[in-house]
Structure 1
Amino acid sequence: MTVWQDDAARDLVLNAGERLALLVRGEGSYLWDADGRRHLDFLAGIAVTSLGHAHPAFVEAVSAQAATLAHVSNYFATPPQLALAARLKRLAGAGIDGRVFFSNSGAEANEAAFKLARLHGGVERPRILALENGFHGRTMGSLALTAKTSMRAPFEPMPGGVEHIPATIEALQAAMDDRVAAVIVEPIQGEAGVVELPEGYLAAARSLTLAHGALLIVDEIQTGAGRTGAWFGFSHEGITPDAITLAKGIGGGFPIGALVTYGSASALFTPGSHGSTFGGNPLATAVADAVLAEIESAGLVENAARRGAELREFLLGMDSPLVDGVRGRGLLIGVALSAPVAGAVVAAAQERGLIVNAANPETVRIAPALTIGDAELAEFRELFTAALADVQASLSGKVSA
């Protein structure tokens, strides 16, 4: 082990396992490690660095706001906070009645959503429906919404009232009644392997929740901020939810989360019912507002749609027995593999200088910056093809050239 690996093993808690590299610098879609080796980043911090690394708009926003005002308590408003709230409402179509709660992460945004559901439901509506294979965070409330047993089991008992149902319209129809406070869904289940909901699911969920007086909460933490080729995943089905949760890409690398509420749901939180010391501080909100402004002005939502289509075409046309299909939308893509070798593919890719991720043993997740162009795509094609060949050769007992 190197010195930095020894330091990490000694000083960092073991939740993330062994770190893969010591990264020291980034620019655009590239990262450099401590040995000076360049890596093409097609993970973007798991759909976080929307503008890539060290983008001028990001750097300028951090520098300018840090030199002005970094933090005040939520007893006060600040111009960046108000500007970002207005922008998020506009982009999400929340209307004049919409409101925004700011947090520091996606898990905290989903904690707020959980409490919103409780406020709406009261004692008469104790049920909250979430989906099997869904992922909403690691805090206790967001973990209760998450279905994965291996994540939940060490921390049982979870907060009560959450039921996990299959991601089918039929299962949702069977589960809905007037005792349901809320339904929470991801438009694409990222941690499950970039799995899309069945066609028409969000429209059916909107219809059923309206009929039964329940909230529809859409977790846009991984799908929001243009990643799917639309500003938000729910936009593809033309619905209006009661609330959405956001984080990851809206901050471009700066920690921030948000809950955007619509209509009557916006009146559920009252003074003292929820809070966050750092949530909505001027530094975080200034950076997020600058990131979203750049995504708008540079046409990066459209770029995500275009480049995502090009990536899908390449992946579907690959002459590799390991590629069994492609899932996802825009620049959130899951490459389905014909064998449980995603970890080996990720390792081979990193050896070649490409960063991707194993969402599960049979899926490689690809989520690059929204700024990628021809050069990055060409390099990705070369490196990913070589990584798959390396793994295929290993499976065949051969040595790859």
Structure 2
Amino acid sequence: MSYPLDLQQLAQQIKQWGRELGFQQVGICDTDLSAEEPKLQAWLEKQYHGEMDWMARHGMMRARPHELLPGTLRVISVRMNYLPAKAAFASTLKNPQLGYVSRYALGRDYHKVLRNRLKRLGEMIQAHCGELNFRPFVDSAPILERSIAAKAGLGWTGKHSLILNREAGSWFFLGELLIDLPLPIDKPQEEQCGRCVACITICPTSAIVEPYVVDARRCISYLTIELEGAIPEEFRPLIGNRIYGCDDCQLICPWNRYGQLTDEEDFSPRAVLHAPELIDLFKWDEAKFLRVTEGSAIRRIGHLRWLRNVAVALGNAPYSMEIMETLRSRLGEHSMLDEHIDWSISQQQQKRSENAVEVQLAQQKRLVRVIEKGLPRDA
């Protein structure tokens, strides 16, 4: 391919097109991720990927974008904000009767949104150049998207392993466009986490085992989304009311005070998922689950795992007879679900016993106060 174009000018034009397509930032890097290979290998050897066999299946290809599209010379990395207005983080997390869905999943499936925009960006470059091989990716291939984003200057890797940006925090999606043009590359940003370990400290399950390293087997996002079988019992009480993903490490991050709201209608929260009653969610049949989650990233876990997650959250809620009855109503539907229902019922029974003891102690304390004051006992 000949290059009669001014590649520097074309790179600027690509970034402008990207902004017009709704990306908040566009960066460009080469395909050399060899520095990431030892880290990836060590992570895999420690089995931190859990049941995500696809992480190990492709080996070091994840650090070699040029193997995904032969002839690739550059990777265009993009980010798109997804934080909705009135995200209601605290009000939902603090109410154990509500189900908390990670805020990235409240709207339309981001994979489709970003991939379509990236494809259009590739077509615009292709039309401008007359010839171009390109391929868009959004979590759809073995590629180290965060390492690429950092190398392309979109931000730096935080200690929670997510990409952080000075102007936007971490509330954004990433996508990549592989191309065979030798465009000028952008400079990486310097890490600016300093001594802060807030994300490590706040993690409910201690999944961030050391700075920049996450043991997925302990991560609530993995447990509620990627894990297909039973959630280990040790983690169930720690999950709280998080029924799909977890945002804690982002919520605590000081850089997210600069988080930017999205203006994408596709990412607007679906009301039925924004702050839903757990009891209502557990009553959904599969038809309703599929209807409500149509076009949503949530649909990928299926109805059974959805019920599994909600069952755990119900077990973590304060005791109520309605919860007990709701849990029992689905016994016998599936052995894996039964296991979680039984656990949740036992949690509810324990809370009922504790409540009874607390009431009895309160009555005894009141009786003592009454006697001490010399008042009639029915006063």
TM range (shorter): under 0.3
Which has the larger Rg? 2
Which structure has more strand as a fraction of its residues?
1
Q: TM-score, normalised by structure 2?
A: 0.26
Which structure has more helix as a fraction of its residues?
2
